[in-house]
């Protein structure tokens, strides 16, 4: 009886989910202790060995704004890239894109926001100005054969403005999609969302951007990320951003904790019979390695349980 029920429920869920691993970028950008290029390179290699096929490896942003990402050129020079893996970087403007192209980066991401105040704090310009900055970045990247992913931050709340109008989220998402981004990642930057709110927001955005072109990016500040991801999967989303060991946060969103841990997402997907191609044991080891480097415990219950089971 219960088996039939679970089979029925799972009809709505995707058979496979693409994991976008953002630990080396979103995670390490907000760790207080600087991590040198050598350890970042080891992290990227360990993630690749665990079967991760998309690794956001760094950010070509101002080192005055985010010093933790100052090693990005070194990291790209030091990694051994595998053909089937995407190694991406954030590029907020043409200067960032030029640096990425010089490093041979094959995929970049631009990052806008649904909140005016957050846009100003994060990238020092208004939402409208950000579109003017991004347009030539996308145009040049595409001309060079480099794919561009787009982020919208603060989709379920802003640290400065509070509630965010979901129509504004849809407007910004559409603008980035129309500009040429092949996928739009919806960021709950401060992790305040809950499943019904996430569903309503995704439904609104899906009126403007096809749902299969949407990804979800939940920070886990209030412990809602897995529930929100499950809700998003039920809506037809099949790309999920996450960070190994639940690393990080956002330097311009005080109090925001790290992204949902990749270990927690993969464990849930395994339980739902959804394929991600990731080896959970190897992934957990990658998380322990970087957490040991940072001298802190991973922010992942699955990781903690697997480690305890080993001891
Ligand atoms: P600005 O100060 O307005 O830029 O910053 P500017 O053009 O006036 O230049 C000022 C200085 O920065 C100059 O140097 C430029 O050369 C330099 P100076 O002459 O003073 O020595 N500069 C750069 N250096 C390196 N790389 C660059 C670059 N551009 C200018 N690309 C800027 C504007 C966008 C650069 C700045 O605000 C910035 O770097 N912001 C980045 C903020 C950031 O990385 N935030 C975290 C990532 S977003 C996030 O975490 C959210 C997300 O995860 C989704 C979610 O969770 O919601 C994606
Ligand atoms: Mg983020």
pLDDT, tens digit, 9 for 90 and up, residues 66-109? 999 999 999 999 999 999 999 999 999 999 999 999 999 999 99
The 8-class DSSP code of residue 260 comes to P
56 touches ligand 1 (CB under 6 Å)? no
| Containing structural domain, residue 36 | 15-310
The answer to whether residue 181 is domain-embedded is yes
In this structure, the number of other CB atoms found within 10 A of the CB of residue 276 comes to 21
The 8-class DSSP code of residue 119 comes to H
Distance separating alpha carbons of residues 225 and 148, to the nearest angstrom? 25
The answer to whether residue 2 is domain-embedded is no
First to last CA, the chain: 38
- For ligand 1, mutation pick of 22, 23, 26, 61 (most atoms within 8 Å of CB): 61
115 touches ligand 1 (CB under 6 Å)? no
> 132: domain CATH number?
3.20.20.70
At 22 the three-state DSSP class reads coil
This prediction's pTM: 0.96
Q: Catalytic: which of 154, 158, 181, 250?
A: 250
From the first residue on, what is the mean pLDDT of each consecutive set of 10 residues in the chain (311 residues)? Answer: 46 92 96 92 98 98 96 98 98 98 98 98 97 98 98 97 98 98 98 98 98 97 97 98 87 74 98 98 98 92 95 79
What share of the chain in percent tops pLDDT 90? Answer: 90
For the record, the structure tokens of 141 come out as 């990247």
Residues 205-247: tens digit of each pLDDT: 999 999 999 999 999 999 999 999 999 999 999 999 999 999 9
- Cα 65 to middle of ligand 1, angstroms: 6
250 is annotated as an active-site residue: yes
Q: At what angle do helices 166-179 and 127-143 cross, to 10 degrees?
A: 30
> So what's the pLDDT on residue 57?
98
The answer to whether residue 175 is domain-embedded is yes
The answer to whether residue 1 is domain-embedded is no
The answer to whether residue 10 is domain-embedded is no
The 8-class DSSP code of residue 54 comes to E
> So what's the pLDDT on residue 40?
98
The domain tally of the chain equals 1
Q: Which ligand is nearest to the CA of 252?
A: 1
């Amino acid at each position: 009886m219960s088996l039939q029920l679970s089979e029925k429920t799972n009809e709505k869920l995707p058979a496979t989910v693409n994991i976008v691993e953002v630990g080396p970028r979103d995670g390490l950008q907000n760790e207080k202790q600087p991590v040198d290029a050598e350890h970042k390179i080891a992290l990227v290699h360990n993630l690749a060995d665990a079967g991760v096929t998309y690794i956001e490896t760094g950010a070509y942003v101002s080192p005055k704004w985010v010093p933790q990402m100052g090693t990005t050129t070194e990291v790209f020079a030091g990694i051994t890239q595998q053909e089937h893996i995407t190694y991406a970087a954030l590029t907020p403007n043409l200067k960032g894109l030029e640096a990425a192209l010089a490093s041979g980066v094959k995929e970049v991401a631009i990052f806008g926001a649904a909140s005016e105040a957050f846009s100003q704090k994060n990238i020092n310009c208004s939402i409208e100005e950000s579109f003017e900055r991004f347009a030539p970045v996308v145009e040049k990247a595409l001309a060079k054969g480099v794919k561009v992913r787009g982020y919208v931050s603060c989709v379920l709340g802003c640290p400065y403005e509070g509630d965010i109008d979901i129509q504004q989220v849809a407007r910004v998402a559409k603008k980035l999609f129309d500009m040429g981004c092949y996928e739009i990642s919806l960021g709950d930057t401060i992790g305040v969302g809950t499943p019904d709110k996430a569903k309503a927001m995704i439904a609104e955005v899906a009126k403007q951007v096809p749902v299969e072109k949407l990804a979800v990016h939940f920070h886990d500040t209030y412990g809602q990320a897995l529930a929100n991801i499950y809700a998003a999967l039920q809506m037809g989303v099949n790309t999920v951003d996450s960070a190994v060991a639940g690393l990080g946060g956002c330097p311009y969103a005080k109090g925001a904790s790290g992204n949902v841990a990749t270990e927690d997402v993969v464990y849930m997907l395994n339980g739902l019979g959804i394929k991600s191609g990731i080896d959970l044991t190897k992934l957990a080891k990658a998380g322990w390695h970087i957490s040991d480097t940072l001298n802190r415990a991973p922010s992942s219950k699955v990781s903690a349980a697997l480690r305890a089971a080993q001891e």
